[in-house]
Structure 1
Amino acid sequence: MSAGPALVWTVVLTFVFLECAVILGLFLPGDSMLITAGVVMASHASGEAQVWALSIGTMIAAIAGNQVGYVIGSRTGHRLVARKNGRYINAKNLQRVTELLRRHGFVAVLIARWIPWVRTLCPTVAGAAGMDHRKFTVASTIGAILWAPVLLLIGYYAGGFLDRVPWLMPIVVATLVIGLIVGTVLGIRHYRQEMAKPAEDFELETVPLNIVDAETRTARG
């Protein structure tokens, strides 16, 4: 593996895992990163084999990230920390994710993959609300297959068309990479600003038994 693909692997797997596991992921350009990685892979001779292997890697990273997010949420109990006047980590958004899980359960976890800020908050809220772990795992696994590899392959095959125009490919790749770097820097800055805001507790409301593990709920009283 050359330095280029190795760097792509490192960035992609790290971003996907963080976006699915921890609050920092709210501020990372996950979707655009996957498409950019696919385009970059298209410019390498071993790109096709690399992108298919990376697709499997991103799926595993997304599933693992969601499991970490779920565990973090389950350890908080029904109480999550919001940020007063926060852009994403506020009581309103946490309530919206809770409502989504309450009304749609399994399907909500699938839908969450395609909504950036919901994608990160959903596992934590599901864990805190006591959503049945097996149902969550199945839904998050299906969602992982339908999200990260799909965007990565879209970028790769789009890059294949761009590669037919020699002068255009370097311009597109440079633009996408610069945009990704700028987006990441700004995202980390916004994350620091968000976490510096005053914290406030968010109490999860009771969630119907059709999406909650009854034993977990009974144990919590």
Structure 2
Amino acid sequence: MFERILEILTGLGLPGLFVGVFLEALGLPFPGSVLVALAGFLSRQGELNLIIAWLVALLAYLLGSVSAFSLGRYLGEPFLKKWGKYLGVTSDRLAKVQELLTDSAPGYIIGGRFIPTVGNITPYVAGLSGIDIKRFLLFDSIHAVLWLTTFLGAGALLGRNWQKIINGSWFTWLTVAVAVLLVLYLAWQLWSAKEKNKL
């Protein structure tokens, strides 16, 4: 898979990066993190300019997020119930995500987008929830900066060793550890919000 994405990205360049990151931000099942890391790798090889790649990816991510947010805001729950199956949205998952967003918007939007399946539906549910778009964009931009800097930077720093590292067992454990930390952070945010509501 990595070789195929690398081949496509090398051929398409920045437009390919833009489209891939836009699809990722829309919540479609697309290996966006891998694509961004490979863009970092290509920048190390002199195929792409790292700063321009970062800016293009940021623009694509924010446009994709705003598009998904707008679909949630203006087409609402009927849209998600009809088309949500393509995003992995079930009624139970939708209810859970709405609860998380209500209890802790910053923690959910910034941290939750790193969690597979939960992150995919975040902008739709945010639009549906009625959260102010400026607030959403602030938290989503923080997530985008963290995500892009991490994966573009990793791809650029690892260079030719990226595949060995990604296939290594320690990388799997590191990924699991990061996911667990994010879940714990979200749980803490929820608990704090509930405690405040009791007062």
TM-score by length of 1: 0.62
Q: Is the 8 A contact 2:113 2:122 kept in 1?
A: no
Structure 2 counterpart SS, 1:89:
coil
By how many angstroms is 1:106 displaced? 2.2
Match of 2:17 among 9, 12, 15: 12
In 2, Cα distance between equivalents of 1:29 and 1:73: 23
Structure 2 counterpart SS, 1:126:
helix
Aligned length: 159
In 1, Cα distance between equivalents of 2:104 and 2:82: 23
The structure richer in helix per residue is: 2
By how many angstroms is 1:107 displaced? 2.2
In 2, Cα distance between equivalents of 1:111 and 1:41: 27
Unpaired runs of at least 5, structure 2: 1-7, 168-192, 194-199
Q: 1:27-106 residue pairs with structure 2 within 5 A?
A: 27-44=29-46, 47=48, 50-79=49-78, 80-81=80-81, 88-106=88-106
Structure-2 change in CA distance of 1:66 and 1:5 (3 Å): same
Identity across aligned pairs (percent)?
A: 23
By how many angstroms is 1:102 displaced? 1.6
Structure-2 change in CA distance of 1:116 and 1:148 (3 Å): farther
Q: 1:164-179 residue pairs with structure 2 within 5 A?
A: 172=163
By how many angstroms is 1:137 displaced? 1.3
Considering Cα pairs closer than 8 Å and 6+ residues apart, tell me whether 1 or 2 has the greater RCO.
Answer: 1
By how many angstroms is 1:83 displaced? 7.2
Q: Name the residue aligned to 2:121.
A: 121
State which structure, 1 or 2, has the greater radius of gyration over its C-alpha atoms: 1
Q: Is the 8 A contact 1:39 1:155 kept in 2?
A: yes
By how many angstroms is 1:5 displaced? 5.1
Q: Is the 8 A contact 1:13 1:58 kept in 2?
A: yes
RMSD of aligned C-alpha atoms? 3.1
Per-residue CA distance 1:29-84 (angstroms, 9 max, x = gap): 1112211222233223x65xx12210111111111111111110011234431679
Q: 1:125-204 residue pairs with structure 2 within 5 A?
A: 125-159=125-159, 162=160, 172=163
The structure richer in strand per residue is: 1
Unpaired runs of at least 5, structure 1: 163-167, 177-209, 211-221
Q: Is the 8 A contact 1:82 1:91 kept in 2?
A: no
Q: Is the 8 A contact 1:39 1:156 kept in 2?
A: yes
TM-score by length of 2: 0.68
